[in-house]
C-alpha cells in the first residue's frame, strides 16, 4: 500500500538578539508573533541573559504554549565576574564578535537533521550589530535578515555619518551645539549638533563608536532585508531615505503592541508576558490604582543609563517641587556612588512620601497603560518611546546616549509629543518642564499623543502597514526556506 508523504514541519527560524534588556524585550515579542504565524523558533541568548531570565521573567511558562519554540544559549566570551552592565556594551560587542562566532557556527552546522517534528534552522534573524552572524549565514548558505531595535531616524543618521565627515560637519568646528546639521537629508530644518548621538561630540574620528556606527550603511545592506520596530505613519519620510540604501524593509512595530493586538483575537487568554532582567515591583500598580486619572508622571531611564548623585538630586528636587505625583524607577545599579540615600534632605523625603513612589524596576508596559499615568519623563530609549506612543502618554526627554539624543528631538520637534530637556539637569528646569507637561500644556500634548496612539493602533489592525509587513515577512521566510 502507498504511504502518503507526511507534510514537512514549518520553517525553522533562529532569532539572535543583542544581550541587552531593550533588544531582548522586543525580540521576544517578534518570536511570539512568528510562533503565532506557525513558524518554529530557536531563540538564542547568552548564558548570562538566560540566568537573569530564569530568575526574573516568565518566559519559560509563557513559551510552553508554543511547542515550536526553544530557547538555546551561547557563551558571550566574557569572564564570569564581568559586570556586563549596559555602559560596558562595547566590551560586550567586541567579545561577542571575537569569541562567540565559532559557537554560533557550530550550533547551526551541528543541528540534528530534519526529523518529523522540527526542520533544521534555515533562516536567521539577528541584530544588525552582530555582523558575524551574516558572515556565518553566508558561509553556510542560510538567508539572514537583520533586525534593528533602534529608531529609523537614528539609523538614518548612522547611514549618513560618512557624509557628515566628508562635508566637514564632523568633527564639530567650534563649540556651538545649536548649529544646524545639513548633511542628513530630511532633517535639515531641525536637527542640531546636540541632537546627534552623543559620541559625535568627540573630536576623534577614530573613536570606537564612530568607527562602528559609520559602517552601518554598508553592514545593513549585506542582509536580505531589515526588520524595524517602527511604523510607517511615524517614521515614513525617514524610511523613504533608508530604502534608498536597504530596499527590503519590514516595518512591523510597535512590536509589543503588535503582539498584544494579535493575542486579543485569540480565544485563550495568556497572562502578561515579562522578559525582565530585574525583579519587577508590582506594588506600584496598587499605588497607581489609588491616584487620580492622568495625575502621575512616570520617571524611568531604562536599563542602561547611569546617574551621578548630583543629577539624581536635581531630578528629585525638581520632581518634588513640581507638586506632581510621580512614580520613579531607580534601578539598584543606576546611581554612581553608594551613600546617596543618607544624603536626601528631609523636605524631599516628605514630598516623596506624600506624592511619590520609588521602585527598583516596574512592569513598564502596564504602568504606561494605567489610567493614572499622564506623562513620562524618559531617556527616550526606543522601546520606552514606542511604549509611550502606543499608550498615548506625552513625554519629557532626558536622553542618555546613542539614539536617545535623536529620538528626543524627533519626539518633541517632529512628532510634537512633549518636551526635550536634553543637556540640562537643573531642578528649576525639571520643575518647569513637569509643570508644563502635566498642567500648562497638558491638553495640547495629550491631544497630539492620543492622535499618534490612534495611528499606531491603525497600523496594527487588519490591512494596516505593520500588519501587512509582518504577513509579507512570514511569506518571504516560507518562500526562502522552501526545500
Ligand atoms: N523597562 C521595564 N521596567 C522598568 C524600566 C524599563 O520593564 O522599570 C523596560 C521597558 O518597558 C523597555 C525596556 O525595559 O521595554 C527598556 O528599553 P529601552 O529601549 O527603552 O531602553 P534601554 O534600556 O535599552 O536604554
Residues 435 and 465 in one domain: no
Interval 68-81: pLDDT, tens: 999 999 999 999 88
102-111: average pLDDT: 87
- Helix and strand totals (H; E) in the chain: 20, 13
Least Cα distance to 302 among 26, 75, 15 occurs for 26
- Domain of 62, in residue numbers: 12-149+223-253+460-480
Residues 307 and 388 in one domain: yes
**Does 434 map to a domain?**
yes
**Does 105 map to a domain?**
yes
**Does 206 map to a domain?**
no
Residues 244 and 293 in one domain: no
Residues 317 and 437 in one domain: yes
Q: How confident is the model at residue 15 (pLDDT cuts 50, 70, 90)?
A: very high
Output the CA 364–ligand 1 centroid distance in Å. Answer: 7
54-77: average pLDDT: 93
- Of 364, 367, 378, the one to substitute when testing ligand 1's pocket (max ligand atoms within 8 A of C-beta) is 364
Residues 235 and 352 in one domain: no
**Does 36 map to a domain?**
yes
Residues 476 and 397 in one domain: no
- pLDDT score of 85 more than 90: no
Residues 342 and 419 in one domain: yes
Whether residue 469 has its Cβ less than 6 Å from ligand 1: no
**Does 194 map to a domain?**
no
Q: Where are the alpha helices (DSSP H) in 141-189?
A: 152-166
Quick one: which atom of ligand 1 is closest to the CA of 20? Answer: 24
- 25: cell is 524585550
Quick one: which atom of ligand 1 is closest to the CA of 256? Answer: 15
CA distance from start to end of the chain: 26
Whether residue 387 has its Cβ less than 6 Å from ligand 1: yes
**Does 292 map to a domain?**
yes
Q: What predicted TM-score, i.e. pTM, was given to this entire model? A: 0.96
Whether residue 228 has its Cβ less than 6 Å from ligand 1: no
Output the CA 8–ligand 1 centroid distance in Å. Answer: 39
Residues 337 and 466 in one domain: no
**Does 426 map to a domain?**
yes
List, in sequence order, every beta strand (DSSP E) within 273-417. Answer: 296-300, 325-329, 356-359, 373-378, 395-397
Residues 302 and 440 in one domain: yes
Q: What is the DSSP string of 368-391?
A: HHSTTEEEEEE---HHHHHHHHHH
Q: Where are the alpha helices (DSSP H) in 216-271?
A: 216-220, 232-243, 255-264
Whether residue 381 has its Cβ less than 6 Å from ligand 1: yes
Which CATH number covers residue 120? 3.40.50.2000
Residues 358 and 341 in one domain: yes
> What gap in Å lies between CA 202 and CA 70, rounded to an integer?
43
Residues 312 and 424 in one domain: yes
What is the pLDDT at residue 339?
80
Into how many domains does the chain fold? Answer: 2
> What gap in Å lies between CA 65 and CA 42, rounded to an integer?
15
Quick one: which atom of ligand 1 is closest to the CA of 378? Answer: 20
Interval 380-425: pLDDT, tens: 999 999 999 999 999 999 999 999 999 999 999 999 999 999 999 9
Residues 343 and 394 in one domain: yes
Least Cα distance to 232 among 69, 465, 34, 427 occurs for 465
**Does 265 map to a domain?**
no
What is the pLDDT at residue 113?
56
- Of 20, 22, 127, the one to substitute when testing ligand 1's pocket (max ligand atoms within 8 A of C-beta) is 22
Whether residue 254 has its Cβ less than 6 Å from ligand 1: no
Q: How confident is the model at residue 217 (pLDDT cuts 50, 70, 90)?
A: confident
Whether residue 367 has its Cβ less than 6 Å from ligand 1: no
> What gap in Å lies between CA 50 and CA 248, rounded to an integer?
32
Q: Per residue in 216-238, is it b (16+ CB within 10 Å) or e — as a string?
A: bbebbeebbbbbbbbbbbbbeeb
Whether residue 27 has its Cβ less than 6 Å from ligand 1: no
- Of 381, 401, 402, 404, the one to substitute when testing ligand 1's pocket (max ligand atoms within 8 A of C-beta) is 381
Amino acid at each position: 500500500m502507498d504511504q502518503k508523504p507526511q507534510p514537512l514541519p514549518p520553517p525553522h527560524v533562529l532569532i539572535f538578539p543583542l544581550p541587552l534588556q531593550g533588544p531582548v524585550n522586543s525580540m521576544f515579542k517578534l518570536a511570539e508573533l512568528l510562533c503565532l504565524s506557525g513558524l518554529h523558533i530557536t531563540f538564542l541568548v547568552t548564558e548570562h541573559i538566560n540566568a537573569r531570565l530564569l530568575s526574573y521573567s516568565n518566559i519559560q511558562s509563557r513559551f510552553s504554549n508554543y511547542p515550536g519554540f526553544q530557547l538555546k544559549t551561547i557563551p558571550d566570551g566574557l569572564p564570569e565576574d564581568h559586570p556586563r552592565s549596559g555602559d560596558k556594551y562595547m566590551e560586550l560587542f567586541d567579545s561577542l564578535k571575537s569569541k562567540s562566532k565559532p559557537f554560533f557556527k557550530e550550533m547551526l552546522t551541528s543541528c540534528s537533521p530534519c526529523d518529523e517534528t522540527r526542520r533544521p534552522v534555515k533562516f536567521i534573524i539577528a541584530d544588525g550589530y552582530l555582523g558575524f552572524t551574516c558572515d556565518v549565514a553566508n558561509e553556510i548558505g542560510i538567508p539572514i535578515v537583520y533586525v534593528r531595535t533602534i529608531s529609523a531616524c537614528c539609523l538614518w543618521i548612522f547611514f549618513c555619518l560618512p557624509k557628515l565627515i566628508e562635508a566637514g560637519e564632523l568633527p564639530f568646528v567650534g563649540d556651538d551645539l545649536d548649529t544646524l546639521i545639513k548633511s542628513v537629508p530630511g532633517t535639515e530644518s531641525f536637527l542640531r549638533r546636540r541632537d546627534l548621538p552623543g559620541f559625535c561630540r568627540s573630536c576623534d574620528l577614530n573613536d570606537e563608536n564612530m568607527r562602528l556606527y559609520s559602517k552601518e550603511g554598508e553592514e545593513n545592506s549585506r542582509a536580505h532585508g531589515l526588520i524595524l520596530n517602527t511604523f510607517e505613519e511615524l517614521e515614513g519620510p525617514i524610511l523613504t531615505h533608508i530604502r534608498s540604501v536597504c530596499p527590503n524593509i519590514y516595518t512591523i512595530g510597535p512590536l509589543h503592541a503588535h503582539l498584544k493586538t494579535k493575542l486579543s483575537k485569540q480565544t485563550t487568554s495568556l497572562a502578561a508576558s515579562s522578559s525582565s532582567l530585574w525583579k519587577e515591583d508590582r506594588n506600584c500598580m496598587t499605588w497607581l490604582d489609588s491616584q487620580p486619572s492622568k495625575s502621575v508622571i512616570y520617571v524611568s531611564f531604562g536599563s542602561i543609563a547611569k546617574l551621578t548623585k548630583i543629577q539624581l538630586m536635581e531630578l528629585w528636587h525638581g520632581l518634588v517641587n513640581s507638586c506632581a505625583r510621580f512614580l520613579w524607577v531607580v534601578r539598584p545599579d543606576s546611581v554612581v556612588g553608594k551613600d546617596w540615600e543618607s544624603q536626601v534632605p528631609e523636605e524631599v523625603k516628605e514630598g516623596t512620601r506624600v506624592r511619590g513612589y520609588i521602585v527598583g524596576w516596574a512592569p513598564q508596559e502596564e504602568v504606561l497603560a494605567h489610567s493614572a499615568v499622564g506623562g513620562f519623563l524618559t531617556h527616550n530609549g526606543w522601546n520606552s518611546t514606542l511604549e509611550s506612543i502606543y499608550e498615548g502618554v506625552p513625554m519629557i526627554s532626558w536622553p542618555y546616549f546613542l539614539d536617545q539624543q535623536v529620538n528626543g528631538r524627533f519626539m518633541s520637534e517632529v512628532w510634537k509629543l512633549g518636551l526635550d530637556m536634553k543637556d540640562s539637569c537643573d531642578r528649576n528646569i525639571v520643575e518647569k518642564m513637569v509643570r508644563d507637561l502635566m498642567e500648562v500644556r497638558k491638553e495640547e500634548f495629550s491631544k497630539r499623543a492620543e492622535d499618534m496612539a490612534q495611528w499606531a493602533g491603525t497600523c496594527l489592525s487588519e490591512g494596516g502597514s505593520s500588519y501587512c509587513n509582518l504577513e509579507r515577512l512570514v511569506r518571504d521566510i516560507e518562500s526562502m526556506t522552501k526545500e
